[in-house]
Amino acid sequence: MKHWLIAGMTFTAIALWSTTMTASPADIWPSDGEEQRLWLRAQEEERVINESGLLYEDPQLEAYLNEVARKLQPPDVLRSVPIKILVLKDPHLNAFAFPNGVIYVHTGILARMENEAQLATLLGHEMTHCTHKHALKAFRKLKNLHPVSTFDACTQDTPGRSRDLVTLLGSTGALAAITGYTRELETEADQVGFQLVLRAGYDVKEGAKLFEHLKEEIEIYKIKEPFVFGTHPKLKKRIENCEHFLESCEGEKGSGIKNREVFLKKVHKVILENAHLDLKTGRFDMAQKGLERYLALEPQNARAYYLLGEVFRQQGDQERAKAFLGKAIAIDPAYPDPHKAIGLIYYKGGERGRARSYFETCLALSPNVPDRAYIEGYLAECKEE
């Protein structure tokens, strides 16, 4: 009887599992040998990224991003390439797609977007890399250029050769998604992506605005790094692609969906987290813009005011720093970090009495603050005076 019970429970569990699971990259496997190898390589890269601590984990946000992706693609396409969107903690404007349908979007690019139509433009572009097998095309193009070395790398399994294979697949297959594809493949991703966006009812004009944000960042920071819309072809050409597409669909482009409110509701936390990342990388102006944008959405957020205070404190503008840190304290008097930051400003300015008061408040609010040893040192000096 007990065995039947266990068997029944197991059967029920399997049945429930099979009905609730959606298709994942592991369930769908390409028949082509070369493509299989690219997918394996992509899975390995995915594992490394997912264990790196760089994933921005927000199930609600991921669900929203995947919902937008599903709106763009017909169900039969999604059955052959199971698209999965994940977010990476990285302030740089980038997104990349692996051949097995896994797409990583940086917090940096999400935080700069204004609405769902811009997000759809990005996802449409990246999904096209997957659905149109751009990684495989790039791999085969390289194989035709270097047939002997590619053949050797793919067929021999000595340690050195294995490393060649990994390098080869890494640079031309899975990793090509990060560094960008050829001009032709990127143009195809633009064109097909725009069509997906238009067909789903979004305002395609928003795609052009996304390019403008990216152009602005390239100019400010003189970016040379791999960049979703910054390479292959150059951004200028990409803007031309967009303009040509807009001309070709004159009359349809202005009536589309933007979904600004829904987008900002889902993404606003990313704006704050990304501003913190911008601050860490010393991109103070981008951090300031992000925080001001976040505060326009969430005007009573003490952490945003604290980070804005830090933006100015770390640049040496102590008066503006104190103003924003003071606002953070006014909103949340129990938040220790702005007390510590104001204490540091007074300490460095030689106003040890005032510094002492803020440091003591900080430690009283948070006795286990990670930099307690520093603060105790400052307090000891303040007391000596």
Partner 1 sequence: MIKKCSCVLLLLMTACAPWLPVGGPYESPSHRFSVVLPEKWMKLRAEDDLLLSKDGPFLQYILIQERRIEKPFAHTRKTLQRDMLAQEAAQVIVDEISSDRSVYDFQIIQNTPARINGHKGFQLVFTHKNRDGLVFKTRYCGILAGDWFYAIRYNAAQRYYFDKDIGAFESILSSFEVWEEKTG
Q: Does 350 bind partner 1 (CB under 8 A)?
A: no
- Determine, following the binding rule CB under 8 A, whether residue 348 of this chain makes contact with partner 1: yes
In this chain, which stretch among 21-29, 76-84, 197-205, 341-349 interacts with partner 1, using CB under 8 A?
Answer: 341-349
Residues 81 to 140: which contact partner 1 by CB under 8 A? 90
* Strand partners of residue 87: 105
- Tell me which of 23, 28, 40, 54 binds partner 1, using CB under 8 A: 54
Which C-beta is closer to partner 1: that of 52 or that of 248?
Answer: 52
User: Nearer Cβ to partner 1, position 170 or 326?
Assistant: 170
Instruction: Write the CB contacts of 26 (distance below 8 Å, at least 6 apart in sequence).
Output: none
Q: How far apart are CA 359 and CA 340, in angstroms?
A: 6
Q: How far is CA 154 from the centre of its chain?
A: 33
CA distance 156 to 178: 27
| Shorter beta-carbon distance to partner 1: residue 48 or 145 | 48
**Of the two residues 277 and 321, which places its CB atom closer to partner 1 in the complex?**
277
**51 is a site residue for partner 1 (CB under 8 A):** yes
Per the listing, tokens 């294979």 go with 165
Residue type present at position 37: R
The interface region with partner 1, picked from 4-12, 49-57, 139-147, 226-234 by CB under 8 A, is 49-57
Cα three-residue angle 334-336-338, rounded to 5 degrees? 110
Pick the stretch among 124-132, 237-245, 275-283, 295-303 that binds partner 1 (CB under 8 A).
Answer: 275-283
Which of 74, 147, 282, 349 touches partner 1 (CB under 8 A)? 282
CB neighbours of residue 262 within 10 Å: 14
Report yes or no: 315 and 284 within 8 Å, Cβ to Cβ: yes
Nearer to partner 1, 59 or 370 (CB): 370
Residues between 305 and 324 that touch partner 1 (CB under 8 A): 314
CB nearer to partner 1: pick between 251 and 367: 367
Render 147-206 in DSSP notation, one character per residue.
HHHHHHHHH--SHHHHHHHHHHHIIIIITHHHH---HHHHHHHHHHHHHHHHHTTB-THH
Q: How far apart are CA 335 and CA 11, in angstroms?
A: 52
Q: The tokens of 77 are what?
A: 């396409």
Q: Is 281 in the site for partner 1 (CB under 8 A)?
A: yes
Q: How far is the CB of 276 from partner 1 (least distance, A)?
A: 11
228 binds partner 1 (CB under 8 A): no
What are the residues binding partner 1 (CB under 8 A)? 48, 51-54, 90, 277, 280-283, 314, 344, 347-348, 370-371, 373-374, 377
